[in-house]
Structure 1
């Protein structure tokens, strides 16, 4: 996770980056994956984190361009905001190829729902095909949140019926119904269409 590299202690963030690449070289062939890259590699000068971000970017550039070649090490990063990543990192032989991954289509959403409801006590009125139809624009993380929210709604409802108490054996009686998913969908929203179009535009520019 990108944010895990950020430390208030001087030198700790850069050390974490160096250590990551050192381990990668030792384990080669391997893949280094940074999630939430925008959290640690924003355009320099635009962050008020006491220059931590600038030092992390400098260390990343050193590792990517350094004297010690990255043989058989592939570096992949994920971000929702490629437009705010420091341009120096997006030059050739660094992170120079952008792959846009759009929200899943209906069939993929259906499979994601199946995964996240596999071990959940669903009522007979729950239809994953219908849920997939209603969740256009939702990401896999959104769908996971919907399923978890539906389960928690069902549990809370059962607790409220039992005067605020629930016993271990009561869990066997709980069923997650269609209406629980409907409540969850009202709480968990997908990305607005305008936001999706913005992501697509940024991807096209790269």
Structure 2
């Protein structure tokens, strides 16, 4: 008969997200994770397969609860160009409320983990591609709706917006103020056309 898990897996995963997010992948030990998750090292390995496998689960959980949730909500409730503007405005607001300057787990992982682990690098790239695809979908829809000038290169602008987002998140980790983050975003938003 299979033994029941003696811990709340969702709560443990949330604790692992916080642990990796605040310390980074390399600086986080299995001991740190087990302590923060409230489980033993053996339970961590049995339930999650070790640090690397747990990090893969953490990235998925973070993407679901942060990026994917935001994209779905904004696409459902905003016109295309406004969805992009709202996405970036929310990121600025979240960055400014982040007293520990943790930044974005995906961006941090792109800088910290991806260069040293090709598999994790591909996973991080796939999550960032979801954000770029959100930008592209909405740029294309904004062009079609007349919100963004015809002739705008949706692919190039979506890549540019992703680069702006990445740069903004890195600057936020240094404690950049609102005026700096908004100044980084403003020229990219100007390419979308005037807010309607």
The two structures have a TM-score, normalised by structure 2, of 0.26
Q: Which protein has greater RCO, CA pairs closer than 8 Å, 6+ apart?
A: 2
Bigger CA radius of gyration: 1
Give the TM-score normalised by structure 1.
0.25
Q: Name the one with the larger helix percent.
A: 2
